[in-house]
Structure formats: structure tokens, C-alpha cells
Amino acid sequence: MVLADGYEPETLNPLLGFGEEGASKLFDGLVEHRADRSVRAALAAEVPQPSPDGRTWTVKLRSGVKFHDGSTFGSEDVVASYRAVLDPAFASTVRANYSMVTAVDADGPSTVRFTLAYPYAPFAHRLVLGVVPSEAVAQPGPLERSPFNGKPVGTGPYKLTEWRKGDRMVMEANDDYFLGAPKVRKLTVVFAIDDNTRAQRMKAGEFDGTALPPLAANGLSDVKGAQIIKHSSADYRTVVMPMANPVTGDRAMRLALNYAMNRAGMIQALLGGRGQPASTPIPQALPEFVEPTAQFRYDKDEAARLLEQAGWVMGGDGVRARGAQRASFTLMYPAGDSVRKDLAQAFASDAKAVGVEVKLEGLGWEAIEPRMGADALVLGGGNPFDPDLKSYPLLHSSFAANGFNNPGSYRNAQVDAALDAGRKETDPAQRVAYYRQFQRAYAADPAMVFLAFLDHTYVVRDGWTGYQEVVDPHTHGLTWGPWWNVQSWVPRG
Amino acid sequence: MVDQWRRVGRARTGTPRLVWGAVTLAVLVLGAVFLPWLGELDESLIHYESVRLAPSLEHPFGTDAGGRDLLLRAFAGLRVSLLVAVLCAVISTVLGVLIGGLSGAVGGWPDRLMMRFVDTLNSVPHLLLGIVIVALYRGNLTAVVASIALTHWTTVARIVRAEVLSLRERPFIDAAISGGASRWRILHRHLVPAVVPQAAMSAVLLLPHAVWHETALSFLGLGLPPHMASIGNILAESRAAVMTGAWWVVAFPSLVLIATTLAVSGLASVWRDRLVPRRRSELAL
Amino acid sequence: MRSRARDIAALALRRLVFAVPVLCVVAVGVFLLGAASPFDPIHQYYGVQIFSASAEEIAQAREALGLNDSLIVQFGRWAGGLLSGDLGVSRSFRQPVAQVIGERLPWTLLLVVVGLVLAVLIALVLGVLAAWRQGGWLDRCVTAIGHALEGIPPFVLALVAIAVFSLSLGWFPVAGLTDAGAEATLGQVASHLALPALVLAVSQTPWLVLHVRQSLLTALSEDHVTGARARGLAEHVVVLRHALPTALLPFVTLIGARVPELVTGAVLVEEVFSWPGVASAVVRAALAVDFPLLVVLSLLATAAVLIGSLLADVAAAVLDPRVAVDG
């Protein structure tokens, strides 16, 4: 099976973020996600459960599992992997996800015990981290320089046979895979960065499948023997409003802009109809958590009323002002991302309609990063597994100005309280209540202007059975997407 | 100087080319200047209800993925591209006149050194040098202008230097010097009139090159910021449209670009032929 | 005659010696451009992971990478590496620069050589035919199309070619070197090469055609051609045996002088067709601000231009004994 991907991983080391959300093909976590976003046991023998106080998680391990190099998997590998994540000497990039873990210990060869600083309800979702052999992390030192990054050894259904960087990656079925050898024997992933080139080559029949932007995928609707697959996702696009900016720092301005956005129009026109409107980071993929009263409708009059009320008066040039302050700010977007560019243009266009001037700048990330605190930015992210996983770092004040987490330095005591409560609560019904409370608090004082959850679109050639629909996280391509469970696909005929 | 202009006016070679070039250019420039200002037609506004419409009476060039009228957008793009091109042409002409003129007037080893430097600069393919410059200063209009201006002044410098050198050989300069004329007077009376038409023509000849260069950079994603309407950006966006069969998104902006470069270079070549019929090869850019 | 051969060799040697300072100036120039750029190479080193790195870690990495040294020290280290054969590591390809060049250069050479040969063939045939029947319908067509093509950028040509020949007619594959996953066999490469080479050739043809036509017209009016006609020789003998050789000499020089345009064309054509050559690597390196690769690619292109003009001059000197070789 030949797949094309627009993104080439920098590294194949799970401790540096490869397959952070599971489905990595090469590695297994203690648990893995199912299509209904619940977790099931992978390297664990059964789904782990917390102790009554929620602070100790004991995991029994599956026996008889072997790494690709033939060595036996055991508790020392799990302990070594997680300790390497936690040890600053390894400079793991996923360390922040595990800040609640205080200790990882082996309890015999087939049991591991995690000790947490506080009860953390969605902890099972964090156990999808790919386990590496203990030998790979024997020497402390920055993982970035480890040869393991390009020559990974895991327990997963596929093993890497060739990685011609910048060109392709070839994987072969792992016959010793503990859930049985995959029927799709060889997986080639060709890296073709440009969306249009990939679409053209897909149309010409070179690939068995690829991910494409919605509009490009629509152009392939008439290709014989292939179909377009749409996955809804938790992958949001939002415009971050920095609190330090005199215009976007104003609550009324942020509320008004949320009302001024024609989200349905954007999705229809720019995303080819493939997306869901977004008002908060909680996606429709988590239906029980969604708070219906926290959704913004498209209402230009309401936006104008809010602005007038807050003292933003329309000026002669069609731009409002409050005192000497013009309602004008800069919106940055990554120059290479056409969807974000289109959304940025639409944002500016809709803002102009209510008298707010938005100046666009397309930049590289290195130029964006130092300015995130002062200028607005089109940001993307999200995962469908648990509301805590994204909402907390994105909006909690303890993550203010911490890299991509909460770049606008949003601080709201009610939002903080609800997020903290949800994170520690173990009773599911009570958690839902906390997250709905969080959304109501957010909607009264929005930190950003969420625009849409993108549907991911794929073109897949027929010839296999076993595809199962799933809700994608932000990352997709080699890991998530239609091929998330390719190890259980069967060639047809 | 007046004589030279008269000669251009009187000559009869290439009259049809002149007329066609002038008419086409006039239409394009008028369009670029006035179309984007007509009525409430703001080319940056997104129209969600009219996405990718085929050409019709309402939208003669069709609309793009953002529902924006391509006639307006192509001409807005042309305006941006022409502005950038004029800016580049002026800067590189000024640079070229200064450096070439000085080099020719001073002579000796500084002249030889300068010409070696010009040779060196010409040894690096211009687009490549331009790419290196914009890559290091991305997302910056100045970088695009600089990348074009810094690579195109050498041609002008050569022409001007040759003109200055040939003037130095002429008897009337010698006569003027031996007659005790001041340096300033020689410059003013003899050099400026000889060099200005040459420089002006080089500037015009540079225009299509600058348009072409800017378009190529933007098309590669290295030029003007991608949200800005420029012909290169519009064409880069149109790569997706080719797949969906929206041919007009590629066709009309391309036509505007091609018509512009052809009209300008046609005009410039007529002018060149009339001005200096014998020095054709030297001036070919 | 022997002394002339020696003169030509001396010419070649002189040009090669002149190439050394040129390449040095280009290297220093690009290095200075990079040093003056606001782009911090530490971003290049970390990539997106910079967002999770602490300030302390970054400071340590800067020190380890020698980014705190003075400009001269950094240039010395880089140039020293260059001379000892270490070209550095490309970040955008995550490979040593030498390996990137080694893998990609042959494909670019293939594309450019095939494109150039095609362009020359088309130019010779059309140019001769047009000049032969000056003012005829063919001449007018060739001249008009030639002038029109001068105004069409290669990437527009490439887009149109893909739309027509690949997507509508389905004659040629859209892009790439081979079908995905296929071995690089002769047939595979040939079918993928056809369209990009043709587009590159067509984008270069107008100058060549118009030049051949013009110099052939000039040659046809020269004395020895008029003499040949007067002797009653057949028209095709006059054109092909007497006029064409005279006309070809400046043509050889022109081809040598067009290497920069050929490089430019290759960048655009390779990019649109995803041809895995060094020219498309320029764009990728530029988008990723992959500095070590950009410097080496600039040097490579400069060397190509110098070699092109040298070959043209040597060829001209070999073909025509009247050409002076002391320049």
C-alpha cells in the first residue's frame, strides 16, 4: 500500500512527540484508542484503573511481547520510557503532558505503578505513549541527538525498513505482532509536501491514499476506483486574541468579533463544506460535553451593538475608534499554510464588516513566536479524547505565555476553577457538569475567536476492507486518518 | 538631447508594434489604477455565496475560491506587481547609472575591479540570488524589492559605462576640456543628455523583468505575503484550481501577466530600435 | 595549428583561475547575507520543538553550535569544512549536504541536458525553415509565437501543460520521477521526464529560434553566400552548407550565455513537476531557511554558469579559427 503524506516526521521517537496520540504503527502504548475514543489495553493486559483516591494507577502488562529486534518487552522498558520523559536530562518534548506524575516504579517484571501528585481523571489517555526499549534510553542526554530517532525499535504492527529522508518511508509487517501479523504486508509512505502536487499524483494513480485539503479533495471526486472519505475531527482553527494588545485585550471587542464571524459561510466557501463551526475548544466529537448555550451565532447587529456599548464609535474611514485608540490590530498566520491564510482573510473580511480593521501578516514560525503575546495569530490544534487534554493548557492561566499553550496569556478565575475541578474529578457526570460550566464562563469572556473544526478529507483507493470511521485529532496522515487501524485491514480479492 | 527625442518621434520603424503595445498597456494600466477603486468593489472582501463561479457577465473573469471577482483581483494584483516592478526598475536604474557612470568616468583599476564585480554578480543566476535574499528576510516587501533591484542593476551599469567611455573618446569632450570647461559643465552639457535617454530606456526594459521576477518569487511562495493580491500569489493559489477544472482562475491572471510583459517589452524594443539602431545586441537584456 | 590548441587550453585555464575568486566572492557574499538576516539559526536547529525548550537549553545549544563566536571565526570554520570536503548538514532534508547534492544533481543534469538538446533541435529546425522562407506563413507564425512565448513565464507554461496533457488528455504522468513505489527504470523515468523537459525546452526556445533566424538571414546576405548562389548551387546546399555554418557560430556562444536562464527555468519547472533535482531543492531550502544547503547550491549554480560560458567560448574558438583566444 502506497500512501502519500504532506508532512514528514522530524523524528520517529515517541519521547520526542512521534505518535503522541497513538496509532503510530511502529510503537504501542500501554493502551490505545478505539474508534469510539475510549481506550483499550495494548501493551497492558487490561485497561488500567485508578486507586480509590485517584492518585495511584497500577498497570498489569501483557506477556510474551517482543520488540522488533527480538528482545523481550517487560516492566523495565515501561519504567525506563516514562522516567526518560520525566527526566529533564533527556529533554523530552512531551514532558509537559506528564507533569502530574511523581513516580513510575516496577512492581515485578509484569506490573508498573504510576504515582500522581493529584487525582487526574483522564490519565488513561496519557498512557498511549509509545514504549521504547530500555536500551534506547540508557544514556541520559538530549534525545534529539539519539540515533534511535531515525532507526526506531518498537513493538508495533510494522517495522521500519527504509527511510529516505525527504522522499519516502517503507515499513514492513511485523510477523510477531502480539495481535497477529498484519495482512497489509508493506506500507510505503511517500512525502509530497505540496498539496496540489499530491492531488495531481493521486489523480494520476500513483498513490493508494492521501490526505488533502477539502477543496483539492473535491477535485478528485470523479476518480474511478477511489473514494473521498471525510473524518470529522477535533482539529480547531482559532484566532488567538492577546490580552496585552489594547484592542484585542478588550472583552467587548472579543465578544463582538465572535458574533461578527460568518462561520457557516467560511466552512461552505473556504473548506468546501467540510467542517463544523467552532465557538469553544470542545468539539462536537465530545457531544456530552458540549454546552449548547456557549455557541456564538452569526449576528453582525449584536456585534455592532456590543462595540457601540463599549465605546467603539464608527469613524469616517469605516474603522471604529475608542478615544485615540483605533479598532485595528495585526493578525499573523503561518505563510505556508493555505487554509490558515484563507481563514485569516475571511476573519479580516468579516471584521471589516463591523468596523474593525485587521492587518494580515504571513510569516514563518520563527518570526511569529516572539510576537504571539502582542499580535493575534491563527492557531490550530485539538484532540477528541478528553476535554482536559487541550482545553487546560490552552486556556488555564498557569500555562500563560508558555509557548503555544495559552499564547495570549488569558486569565479568567472562573475558567481556571472549572478546568481544575474537571481535571481532578473522577465521577463522569460531575466532570461533564464542570466542563459545561467552563464553557459558560469562557463564552462570557472569550479568549479567542474559534472559527471551525476542520473535517479531514482523504482520498482512498478501493481494494481493502477493514476501514473504520474515526474522529481525528489534530495530527493525521501517517498515524491517524483512515489508516489509523491499517494493521487490521485485509486486501480484497 | 532634444534631437534624440525627436529622432524617436520621427522614425517610422515598428509603428504597428508601437500602437498595439501602447493601446494594450494603456488599457492594462488604466484597469490597474481605476478598476480596484470602482464602487464598493473591495478586492479583499470574501463573498461566501459566489465561490468559483465560471466567467459570466457579472464576473467576466469568474471568481476564485474566496468568491472574489477575478477581474478585480487580477487588476489589483497587476497594480501591486507593477508598483513593485516600477520601484525595482527605478532603484536598479539609479544604482546602475551611479555605479556605471562613476566607474566609466573614473576609469583605471577601480573601473576594472567594478566590472569584475559585475561579472561575478552576473555569474549567479538572478532568480537564485533573489531566492537566497528573500529566504533570509521572509515575509517582507522590502526583501522582494531588494532582491530584484540588487540583481538587475548590473545591466544598466554596463550600458551607462559604455556610453560614458565612448563619450570620453569623442573630440568635443576633448575640445571642451581643453577649452577650460568645468567638470560640472561637461557633466551637465554632455554627459547627462547622452546618458539619460539610455537610462530611461533601461528602466523601461527592466519593467517586464521585474514583473516576471516578482511573479516567479511569489509563485514559489517566497515573494509577497500570500494574502496580498499579486499576480504571482493568484497564480500560486490557482494551482489547486487546475485540479477542480476551474480553468479561468489560471487563464485570466496569466493573460493579464503575459499581455503586460509583452506590451511593455514591445514598446521598449521599438524605442530601442529607433534610438540606437546599431547597438541592438548590447542593449538586449 | 598546434600553438592554437595551446592558446585555447590557456584560455580555458585562465577562465578556470578567474573562477576561483568569483566563487570565493559568492561564498562570502551569501555568508554575509545570512549573517545580516534576522533569522536566528537556533530556530533552524530546533524546529517546532523550540516552543517546548527552556531558555537555558537554548543558550547551551547556542554555545555548543558555536553561534556565539564572531562572524570571522564562523566563516573560517565553515570554509575550512568546505575545503576538507565537509559541506555541512541540510536541515530541510535532514541529510548531509553532499548527499543531497549527490542524489539530486544527476536528475537535474538529465532534465537540463534533455531540455537543452530539445530546445536546440527545435530552434535549429524552425529557425532555418523560417529564415529560408523569410516572410512566408511559417516565418510569420514562428516569429509571432516566439515573441509571445518570451512573455510567458515557465511556470504558467508548466501549469497549462499539466492541465492539458496530464489531466485532460492523460498522455503523461503529472509529476515526480517515477510512479510512487516504482523502481527508477528507463521507461518510468522517460515517461515522467517528457513533459518537464518539453516545458523547459519550449520556455528556452524563443530566444534560440529568433537568434538562429536572425543570424541566418544575416549570413544569407553575405558575400560568400551570394557568390554560391551566383554559381548556381541548389538552394538547400546554399542554406545548409554555406550560410548555416556562419550563422551557427554566434549561436554556440548564445547557448553558453543562456545557462543562467536555464537554471532559472529548471527551478520553476522542477518545482511545478516535483522533479527530485537540485533546482527544486533550492525552493525547499529557501522555505526552510536551510542555510548550509543554500550556500552550496548558489556555488553550484555559479559554477554551472562559468562552465557554460567557458565551454561556449572554447567551442567557438575550436570551430572558427578567426576567433581571438586572448580574451
**Residue pLDDT, tens place only, A364-399:** 776 787 788 889 999 988 888 889 888 998 999 988
Q: Do residues B71 and B61 make contact, with C-beta atoms less than 8 angstroms apart? A: yes
Transcribe A261-287 into DSSP letters: --HHHHHHHHSTT-EEE-SSS--TTSG
Q: For A487, phi and psi rounded to 5 degrees?
A: -65, -20
- Report the residue from A91, A168, A197 with minimal CB separation from C175: A197
Min Cα separation A91/chain C (Å): 8
CA dihedral B255, B258, B264, B270 (to 10 degrees): -110
Any B CB within 8 A of C268 CB: yes
Residues from chain A contacting residue C162 (CB–CB below 8 Å): 200
pLDDT band at C69 (very low <50, low <70, confident <90, very high): low
Min Cα separation C52/chain A (Å): 6
At residue C15, the 3 state secondary structure works out as helix
Contact A360 B139 (CB under 8 A): no
User: In this structure, what DSSP letter does residue A248 have?
Assistant: T
Q: Residue A77: its pLDDT value, please?
A: 94
Beta carbons within 8 Å of C106's beta carbon, 6+ residues apart: none
Contact C51 A201 (CB under 8 A): no
Q: Pick the residue with more confidence: C108 or B250? A: C108
Min Cα separation B179/chain C (Å): 38
Q: With CA atoms as reference, report the closest residue to B82 among B30, B5, B122, B12.
A: B30
- A111-116/A56-60 β-pairing: antiparallel
For A147-272, strand residue ranges (E) read 158-164, 168-173, 186-191, 209-212, 226-231, 236-240
Q: Do residues A34 and A117 make contact, with C-beta atoms less than 8 angstroms apart? A: no
Contact B49 A265 (CB under 8 A): yes
Residues from chain A contacting residue B45 (CB–CB below 8 Å): 349, 352
Which residue numbers in chain B have pLDDT < 70?
Answer: 1-14, 36-44, 138-139, 173-174, 181, 183-184, 187-188, 243-244, 275-285
User: A120: which 3 cell numbers?
Assistant: 487526574
Q: Do residues C51 and A403 make contact, with C-beta atoms less than 8 angstroms apart? A: yes
Residues from chain C contacting residue A366 (CB–CB below 8 Å): 39-40, 43, 50, 289
Instruction: Please give the span between the terminal C-alpha atoms of chain C, in angstroms, as a whole number.
Output: 19
Q: Match 522562407 to its residue by C-alpha cell.
A: C133
* Per-residue pLDDT at C2 exceeds 60: no
**Secondary element (H or E) of residue C8:** helix C2-36
Any A CB within 8 A of B242 CB: yes
Any C CB within 8 A of A428 CB: no
Chains that touch C (3 or more CB pairs under 8 A): A, B
Q: Residue B284: its pLDDT value, please?
A: 39
Q: Residue B278: its pLDDT value, please?
A: 45
Q: Residue A420: its pLDDT value, please?
A: 93
Helices (H), A271-427: 300-309, 338-353, 365-368, 387-395, 413-424
Cβ-based interface (< 8 Å): residues of A facing B = 194-196, 199-200, 203, 213, 215-216, 218-220, 262, 265-266, 268-270, 333, 335-336, 338, 341-342, 344-346, 348-350, 352, 360-364, 367
Size of interface A-C (CB pairs under 8 A): 80
Instruction: Please give the span between the terminal C-alpha atoms of chain A, in angstroms, as a whole number.
Output: 15
Any A CB within 8 A of B67 CB: yes
**pLDDT tens string A174-188:** 999 998 999 999 999
**Average pLDDT of span C141-160:** 83
Q: What are the contacts of C116-121 at 24+ separation with CB within 8 A?
A: C116/C201, C116/C204, C116/C255, C116/C262, C118/C197, C118/C198, C118/C200, C118/C201, C119/C200, C119/C201, C119/C202, C119/C204, C119/C205, C119/C208, C120/C208, C120/C255
Any A CB within 8 A of C181 CB: yes
Residues from chain A contacting residue C49 (CB–CB below 8 Å): 10, 16-17, 93, 144
Q: Do residues C213 and C168 make contact, with C-beta atoms less than 8 angstroms apart? A: no
Q: Residue C43: its pLDDT value, please?
A: 63
Q: Residue A123: its pLDDT value, please?
A: 92
Q: Residue A346: its pLDDT value, please?
A: 92
Best of C168, C274, C280, C283 to substitute, by most chain A Cβ atoms within 10 angstroms, is C274
Best of B24, B25, B132 to substitute, by most chain C Cβ atoms within 10 angstroms, is B132
Any A CB within 8 A of B226 CB: yes
For chain C, strand residue ranges (E) read 89-90, 95-96
Name residues 183-222 of chain C within 8 A of B (Cβ).
Answer: none
Contact C155 B137 (CB under 8 A): no
Please give the residue of chain B at the shortest CA–CA distance from C254.
B281
Please give the residue of chain C at the shortest CA–CA distance from A208.
C180
Q: How far is CA B122 from CA B128, B226, C256, C315, in A?
A: 11, 29, 13, 21
**ipTM for this model:** 0.79
Any A CB within 8 A of B244 CB: yes
**Secondary element (H or E) of residue A325:** strand A325-326
Which residue numbers in chain A have pLDDT < 70?
Answer: 145, 366, 476-477, 493
Min Cα separation B191/chain C (Å): 29
- A186-191/A168-173 β-pairing: antiparallel
Q: Do residues A308 and A356 make contact, with C-beta atoms less than 8 angstroms apart? A: no
Q: How far is CA A262 from CA A287, A345, A450, in A?
A: 23, 12, 11
- Report the residue from B44, B225, B245 with minimal CB separation from A335: B225
